[in-house]
Amino acid sequence: MFIEHASGISMDALHILIGFALFVVASRLLRRSLGSFLPWSALLLFELANEAYDFGVELWPNLVSQFGECAKDVLLTMALPSLVLAIARWRPGWLISQAGDARPD
């Protein structure tokens, strides 16, 4: 919550930004490409552990709403890394230009 208040960025946006940054860092630390499932899986495990901690620490009066918020956080955190993983695996040409494809600006 400190980061949210200090930066002025919403918690949902922080999930997206920090999740993607951790995905890239995990990729570099594990020496795998962004198209590998290993960095994506590491991020998923980290996020599930984070949400389990939040679920245990934060006590909401409505358990269903709390569960929904946890699910939303997981989806927001994993959305961009999942998209990049899919593109890197199945459409890598979208990320890097092929020889002769470069267009002058």
Taking only the tens of pLDDT, the chain with its 105 residues reads 666 567 778 889 999 999 999 999 999 999 999 999 999 999 999 999 999 998 888 888 888 888 999 999 999 999 999 999 999 999 988 888 766 565 555
Task: Tell me, yes or no, whether 66 lies in a domain.
Answer: yes
- Residue 34: name the closest of 82, 96, 99, 93 by CA: 82
Q: pTM for this structure?
A: 0.83
Which pLDDT score, from 0 to 100, does residue 99 have?
A: 61
Task: Tell me, yes or no, whether 101 lies in a domain.
Answer: no
Task: Tell me, yes or no, whether 83 lies in a domain.
Answer: yes
Task: Tell me, yes or no, whether 38 lies in a domain.
Answer: yes
Its domain, for residue 43, covers 2-91
Contacts of 18 (CB under 8 A, 6+ apart): 77
Task: Tell me, yes or no, whether 77 lies in a domain.
Answer: yes
Task: Tell me, yes or no, whether 104 lies in a domain.
Answer: no
Counting the structural domains of the chain, the total is 1
Which pLDDT score, from 0 to 100, does residue 103 have?
A: 57
